Structure 1
Amino acid sequence: MPRFAANLSMMYTEYDFLDRFAAASADGFEAVEYLFPYAYDARELRRRLDEHGLRQVLFNAPPGAWESGERGIASLPGREAELRSGIERALEYAAALGCGQVHVMAGLLPPEATPTRQAAHRATYLANLAWAAERAAAVDVDLLIEPINGRDMPGYFLHRQAEAHALVQEVGASNLKVQLDLYHCQIVEGDLTTTLRRDLPTGRVGHLQIAGVPDRHEPDRGELNVRHLFDVIDELGFDGWIGCEYIPRAGTSEGLGWLKNYRGEHA
């Protein structure tokens, strides 16, 4: 049966961040993910995980100037030193939290980017991923890259699944994998069942995420047949986690009927 992780950046926002661990555990989650840990001492985060019997399964490497609108720097020429420093910091947190996966955000292309400029971004991205994957492999951490839809994040460097898989294959590092967010994929490409059946057996998908489409609320709200998708994931034997990266409509716990129903049907 698929395993689900609560995304504490989007869920349980009715609580202070450090109190969200207890709330997620109380609702039966065994794992958590979130965007960034860096505003908190790693020892305190680890204490919360241990106190509530939770696993940390994902967070993002430092993304550049997030508050100013940056969304990663891995594809940005001239930011290589900052990228490397950020990867080192992320790996320190990963070791402290026992987290085996870190998402490395690509960044935004400038609106005026020419084909030549886009090629330079791609070359920078490949070089940075190769360096980062080698560094992460030394401490047994997988790095993830994620295609993100251009409606929510205009200008993001990476949009499509095939593009992400091509980059992973080109780098050729066994610990560099794709983060398949079914919300983003549905908006950009659709055809989710075929995508899952095509890509999960390759072993190149390290993590899944889910949210309702189009409004990013509970996954059973909107156009996705999530029970079918979960059954496909189960059928394919995916042994990673599914991050619940959605915005609850009216209270996190109150909106977990989809999860309770699915678990009950597969008890």
Structure 2
Amino acid sequence: MHGHRFSYAANLSIMFTEYEFLARPAAARAAGFTMIEMWWPFAEPVAEPEQVDALVGAIEAAEVRLIGLNFFGGDLAAGQRGVASHPAAAGDLAANAEQVAAIARRTGCRNFNLLYGQRDDRWSVPEQEEAAIEAIRNAAAVVAPFGGTVLLEPLAAGLNGAYPLTTTDEVTAVIDAVAAPADNVRLLFDVFHLGSNGADLVAEASRQGGRIGHVQLADSPGRGEPGSGTLPIAAALAALPDDYPGVIACEYRPTRRTEETLDWIATVDGPPAAGPDL
């Protein structure tokens, strides 16, 4: 929105769910968003070409910009939270990375969230850690040629199964272990997940600022829009470094119709100047 420090993107996997998925880009644009992001929108690691064409066509027709896309994360509805750490999924994830890159080249998307995966008793912890490092390195190498960045995030404990990354330090330790030659693996600072885990959001935004590649927000408890919970979202955003590129992704479950939940932006980021675009 004009006049704010930050620009805002709508996550269409969790917002505008009043609409069929391919209608959501247009709904977001009608509500004032010019940028969108989404989780992997297909059931399989590699979608049919017609499915990809339909998605890209809907984005182009709505005249919005895709700024964030997840890699395949398994069956999210069934509770999976990524497959990067699962050795048996290496082939599927590598194929998915190639399709993610193809979509990125068509849409201009440059940020890609890779969910680490929950612990699985089929493999030892070292085997899972090794698989994750290799998957992250491969994903980083695939998106590096066009300036893409792989994002890793901590998730809320107790809500996401045996997901081993719940703090920023745990994520940055993985990033350091990956040591991607292109230096294109960064921290996804998710206000909801970190806040749900009891992190000091203001301190963390300041301490980890140089490693943050992307920011997502929702309030806690409840994962609704800012103001529906108790997190210090405005203070956390204010603590981000001055050189943060300025895009904040709204990744919340609206407590009302999505279009009715956007007035928080003026409270969190100050009053807008003339102009409707988010």
| TM-score (norm: length of structure 2) | 0.86
Q: 1:206·1:240 contact (CA, 8 Å) conserved in 2? A: no
Q: Paired residue for 1:106, among 105, 116, 125?
A: 116
Higher relative contact order at CA 8 Å, sep ≥6: structure 1 or structure 2? 2
Change (3 A) 1:264 1:48: farther
- In structure 1, the residue matched to 2:55 is 45
- In structure 2, the residue matched to 1:88 is 98
**1:68 shift after superposition:** 4.5
Q: Name which of structure 1's ranges 73-82 and 250-259 shifts more when overlaid on structure 2.
A: 73-82
Q: 1:227·1:262 contact (CA, 8 Å) conserved in 2? A: yes
CA distance in structure 1 between the partners assigned to 2:105 and 2:41 by the alignment = 13
Q: Paired residue for 1:135, among 142, 148, 152?
A: 142
- In structure 2, the residue matched to 1:259 is 265
Q: Paired residue for 1:221, among 218, 228, 231?
A: 228
Q: Paired residue for 1:231, among 229, 235, 238?
A: 238
Give the letter aligned to residue 29 of structure 1.
Answer: F
- In structure 1, the residue matched to 2:201 is 192
Secondary structure, aligned partner of 2:88:
coil
Change (3 A) 1:150 1:54: same
- In structure 2, the residue matched to 1:26 is 30
- In structure 2, the residue matched to 1:62 is 72
Q: 2:201·2:232 contact (CA, 8 Å) conserved in 1? A: no
CA distance in structure 2 between the partners assigned to 1:66 and 1:209 by the alignment = 18
Q: Give the 5 Å matches for 1:6-25.
A: 6-25=10-29
Answering whether residue 136 of structure 2 is matched by residue 126 of structure 1, we say no
Give the letter aligned to residue 232 of structure 1.
Answer: A
CA distance in structure 2 between the partners assigned to 1:64 and 1:261 by the alignment = 36
CA distance in structure 1 between the partners assigned to 2:234 and 2:136 by the alignment = 34
Say how many residue pairs are matched: 261
- In structure 1, the residue matched to 2:188 is 179
Answering whether residue 96 of structure 2 is matched by residue 72 of structure 1, we say no
Give the letter aligned to residue 98 of structure 2.
Answer: E
CA distance in structure 2 between the partners assigned to 1:240 and 1:45 by the alignment = 26
Secondary structure, aligned partner of 2:100:
helix
Q: 2:79·2:160 contact (CA, 8 Å) conserved in 1? A: no
CA distance in structure 2 between the partners assigned to 1:68 and 1:249 by the alignment = 23
Structure 2: runs of 5 or more not aligned: 274-278
CA distance in structure 1 between the partners assigned to 2:152 and 2:235 by the alignment = 25
Secondary structure, aligned partner of 1:180:
strand
Change (3 A) 1:67 1:217: closer
**1:223 shift after superposition:** 0.9
CA distance in structure 1 between the partners assigned to 2:246 and 2:269 by the alignment = 17
**1:53 shift after superposition:** 2.8
1:196-252 deviation per Cα after TM superposition (whole angstroms, max 9, x unaligned): 00111x2x211111001111011121111322223223x633114211111111111
Change (3 A) 1:128 1:27: same
Q: Name which of structure 1's ranges 8-17 and 129-138 shifts more when overlaid on structure 2.
A: 129-138
CA distance in structure 1 between the partners assigned to 2:269 and 2:236 by the alignment = 14
CA distance in structure 1 between the partners assigned to 2:232 and 2:272 by the alignment = 16
Give the letter aligned to residue 60 of structure 1.
Answer: N
Change (3 A) 1:26 1:263: farther
Q: 1:178·1:207 contact (CA, 8 Å) conserved in 2? A: yes
Q: Name which of structure 1's ranges 176-185 and 88-97 shifts more when overlaid on structure 2.
A: 88-97
| TM-score (norm: length of structure 1) | 0.89
**1:266 shift after superposition:** 4.9
1:73-108 deviation per Cα after TM superposition (whole angstroms, max 9, x unaligned): 111123222221121122122222221111111111
Give RMSD over aligned pairs: 2.1
